[in-house]
Structure 1
Amino acid sequence: MIAFLGLGRMGAPMARRLVGAGHKVTVWNRTPTELPGATVAESPAQAVADAELIVTMLSDPAAVEEVVRAAAPGLRPGSVLVEMSTIGPEAVAKVRDLLPETVALVDAPVLGSVRPAAEGTLAVFAGGAPEDVARVRDVLTVFGAVREAGPLGAGAALKLAVMSAMVPAQVMIAETLAYADGLGVDRTLLLDVLAGTPLAGLVERVRPAIESGPPETGYALGLAAKDMWLSTEGPGAVQTIAAAARDRLAAAERAGMGSRDITAIFDAALARPTQAPAVRKINPASVPATNGRYSHATRTGDLLFVSGQVALDENGEVVGEGDMGRQSEFILANLGRILADQGSSFDRVLHVRTFLTDMTRLGEYAGVRGRYFTGEPPASTTVEVPRLFQPGLLIEIEVVAVAS
């Protein structure tokens, strides 16, 4: 019996192929999902209880580790776990540590997207002891062509190496199209020319997405960003081009494209860059003027950064010399005016940083502060300093807030 853990875009068609090949299959998914012909388990441990072979096909290293931990108590001695996610060799080693010694492990990530998964034409990169790979080879051929990569972790390493070439190449073509658009080069003409170069295979693969619009998601952009992170963040990683592609993909993911097919990177590259938000200098007339060497606040977008405020009046004289409570009151009142000038308030403060010349007087300041910050308190830092920039000053307060 085979247990299949993870029925995402890739996992579901792969599990269906096992059922279609006549295997007895039990499936588990974080979101309960029916699979015709398969038994649905309520937990990973239940799914693997009677399984001789277990397949994990999950989104990232953390998900694999979580599911393997949950499954471990139910694993049978003598069974073998085939880890088919893209998680990298370090994560494979962690999975090995989570398994009982009596359970074998093969890492066998796949190259291909949803359609090859459904058709059984994936490339499977198998790593592990030869006898363990031999035990599972017939099952792996249900998914596609098996290439034995070497010892445990070698399949995961080979997958990352392949992706660190393929994914940046797609990002490069996207940037090339954006560059050509800026030069006025006809897009179809450019693709035709590139199709006559060593890039032909990749160009023909992405051409439909460029000319006909977004395809159904086969390889999600968010997963591509994760794969590039794995390729560039490991020990000794030196792939500067892959790192640039990773950053491009991460930006597109933050822009809401993570669930779309990787070809959405073409839309991201061709989009007109948005103008960087302006930085405004804020000096409200309702508070004493600065000495001209700083502004009371700066604002970019809806973020307001307020300079450290002290108890100095319009003549530069200390207000409430020696009186912590009075200086605190003066400063917080001025902070309130600056916040109000930008459509903000104390309940929209994200962080407050306070500098005191005598921490034993913290209670005096706290009593005043409590009248201004009346709800859930913001993030806060309070430090003692030997002195402030002018004699007689006991306290300085700066804040970061959200403005309207």
Structure 2
Amino acid sequence: MIAFLGLGRMGAPMARRLVAAGHKVTVWNRTAREVPGAAVAATAAEAAAEADLVVTMLADPPAVEQVLAAARPRPGALVVEMSTIGPEAVARLRAALPAAVGLVDAPVLGSVGPAAEGTLTVLAGGAPEDLARCRPVLEVFGAVREVGPLGAGAAMKLAVMGALVPAQVLLAESLARAPERGVDPAALLEVLAGTPLGPVVERVRPALAGPPPARYSIGLAAKDLALAAHPAATLAAAARARLDGAAAAGLADADLTAIVTSPTLRGAGRDAPARERPARVNPAAVPAPAGLYSHAVRAGGLLFVSGQAALDADGRVIGEGDVTRQSEVVFDYLEAILADQGCDFGDVVTIKTFLTDMADLPAYGAVRRRRVPGEPPSSTTVEVPRLFRPGLVIEVEVVAALPRP
């Protein structure tokens, strides 16, 4: 039996293909959804309880890590991780999973159409025996390319996206600047169609006629480049900054090709604003803010992350009165917000902690030392009479340095 975790734009058609191929499939999604012919589980753990293969197709590294921790695949099961999360996250998954649970990383190239048609390219990494075990299932999705040991598929996917996504952003900038030089954008596309950029031109051309259907969103593309871009000043890092600007302008859920119509590219160059406007950040991997605030704000090369508390998606306190449990949840949320912007705890410059009882400091400190390894950042810890929700005992905010484009 196959457990399929994650029914987003890509996951839903992939799960449907498994059902059509005759596999027994149980699906789970954070927001309940159905796939005709598949059983629907109420929890990730229920979906994975009897599964031989557990397939994940989720948004980002924190989502995959949290869902698999909750799923608890049984001994002898094989996890096939198909999201775009990077080799470092794959290594963390391997360390977190029991030795008796196998792991293959198999991200895909292609969007919603190929997912429905079974024409994706699957970049698979793992031990030969694990790849042989899951290859018949992977072939349901498209052509399988085995690229090396565990983590090789994730690394290859980032290398590919680090080239493909910036090419589309570069084309969008050229179209935005064309009128300044007296060049008709439509004529520019016709000329570029006859060059090696021809396939990219054909992909973005429909976006000029109106909003295209969202196959691969700007928000996800920005996330992928955050994982793929080298920390040095690279074209990929600059493209990611453009995508972040488009997302902040309200295009996060639009298809990547809509970058050609992004208002943030108009006047790119000599007429660009002297400073970048602050951008609000509210990743989907973290429960929505519990009040009138954003989870984080990008400004001046820094990421200011609001105080995080242990609340679930319905605003209920997690681990009421338990500082260790709440600290784990808080650092999960902080990690997800940082990762959404291409950062990790190594980029944090200061941490501010609010405790309702300073006697909880040793327990909190044990969690923090494990989650924030290496030389610690600057830090302030204070005791407060109470926090904004009864049962909360800790809140933590951070400031991090953003990768330089």
- Shorter-chain TM-score: what band? 0.5 to 0.7
Structure 1, residues 136-192: CA drift from partner, whole Å, max 9, x if none?
001001101000010000000000000000000000000001111221211121111
Q: Is the 8 A contact 1:68 1:98 kept in 2?
A: no
- C-alpha contact 2:14 2:115 (8 A) present in aligned 1: yes
3-state SS in 2 of match to 1:82: strand
Instruction: Decide which of 198, 201, 204 is 1:203's aligned counterpart.
Output: 201
Name the % identity. 66
Corresponding residue number in structure 2 for 1:137: 135
Partner residue of 1:164?
162
Alignment of 1:49-60 (within 5 A): 49-60=49-60
1:290-344 CA deviation, whole Å, 9 max, x = no partner? Answer: xxxxxxxxxxxxxxxxxxxxxxxxxxxxxxxxxxxxxxxxxxxxxxxxxxxxxxx
Q: What amino acid is aligned across from residue 243 of structure 2 in structure 1?
A: L
Q: 1:313-352, aligned counterparts within 5 Å?
A: none
Q: CA deviation at 1:78?
A: 1.1
Moved more, 62-71 or 181-190: 181-190
- In structure 1, stretches of 5+ residues that fail to align are 279-375, 377-404
Q: Distance in 2 between matches of 1:85 and 1:110?
A: 8
- TM-fit CA distance, 1:267: 1.2
Amino acid of the structure 2 residue aligned with 1:45: A
Aligned counterpart in structure 2 of residue 231 of structure 1, from 225, 228, 232: 228
Shift of 1:29: 0.3
Cα contact 2:177–2:266 (8 A) shared by 1: no
Cα distance in structure 2, aligned partners of 1:275 and 1:158: 34
Question: Is 1:252 aligned to residue 249 of structure 2?
Answer: no
Question: Are 2:19 and 2:38, in contact at CA under 8 Å, matched by a contact in 1?
Answer: yes
Distance of 1:138 and 1:71 partners within structure 2: 23
Which runs of structure 2 are paired with 1:68-87 in the superposition (5 Å)?
A: 68-72=68-72, 75-87=73-85
List aligned pairs for 1:5-404, cutoff 5 A: 5-72=5-72, 75-210=73-208, 212-232=209-229, 237-238=231-232, 240-268=234-262, 270-271=265-266
Q: How many residues matched?
A: 273
CA distance in 2, matches of 1:222, 1:94: 24
8 Å CA contact 1:4, 1:56 repeated in 2:
yes
CA pair 122-275 structure 1, distance change in 2 beyond 3 A? closer
- For 2:94, the aligned partner's letter is R
Return the offset for 1:272.
5.2
8 Å Cα contact 1:44/1:71 also seen in 2: yes
User: Kindly tell me: are residues 173 and 276 of structure 1, through their superposed partners in 2, closer, same or farther at Cα, counting changes over 3 Å?
Assistant: closer
Distance 1:165-1:276 versus aligned 2 partners, 3 A rule: closer
- 8 Å contact kept, 1:78–1:103: yes
Between Structure 1 and Structure 2, whose CA radius of gyration is higher? Answer: 1
Q: TM-score, normalised by structure 1?
A: 0.65
Q: Greater RCO between the two (CA within 8 Å, min separation 6)?
A: 2
Q: Is the 8 A contact 1:2 1:54 kept in 2?
A: yes
Q: Which amino acid in 2 is paired with 1:222?
A: G
CA distance in 2, matches of 1:218, 1:135: 30
CA contact (8 A) 1:107 1:126 kept: yes
Letter in 1 for 2:13: P
Distance 1:82 1:22 in 2: 19
1:186-237 Cα distance to aligned partner (Å, 9 max, x none): 1121111111111111111211112x2111000010000000000125xxx5
Deviation at 1:277, TM superposition (A): 9.3
Answer yes or no: is the 8 Å Cα contact 1:60–1:87 preserved in 2: yes
Q: Post-superposition shift, 1:238?
A: 4.2
Distance 2:59 2:8 in 1: 8
C-alpha separation between the residues in 1 aligned to 2:180 and 2:15?
A: 46
User: 2:290 matched to which residue of 1?
Assistant: none
Structure 1 segments, 4+ long, off by >2 Å, are 269-278
What's the secondary structure of 1:263's corresponding residue?
A: helix
Measured against aligned partners, the alpha-carbon deviations of 1:243-288 in whole angstroms (never above 9, x if no partner) come to: 000100011111111000001211115545798599xxxxxxxxxx
